Amino acid sequence: MLMRWERFGPDNGIEVTEDTSRLTLDTIALCAFDYRFNSFYQREMHPFVGAMVEALSNRARANGGPTSPTS
Answer whether residue 69 is part of any domain.
no
The predicted pLDDT at position 66 comes to 57
Q: How far apart are CA 67 and CA 34, in angstroms?
A: 31
In which region does residue 13 sit, left (phi positive, over 0), alpha (psi from -120 to 50) or beta (all else)? Answer: beta
Residue 46 sits in which domain range? 2-62
**By CB neighbour count within 10 A (0-12 exposed, 13-18 middle, 19+ buried), where does 67 fall?**
exposed
Answer whether residue 68 is part of any domain.
no
Answer whether residue 48 is part of any domain.
yes
Cα 19–Cα 60–Cα 37 angle in degrees, nearest 5: 30
Q: Tell me the pLDDT of the chain (71 aa) as tens digits.
A: 888 888 888 888 888 888 888 888 889 999 999 999 888 887 787 888 888 888 888 888 888 765 545 54
Q: How far apart are CA 43 and CA 32, in angstroms?
A: 24
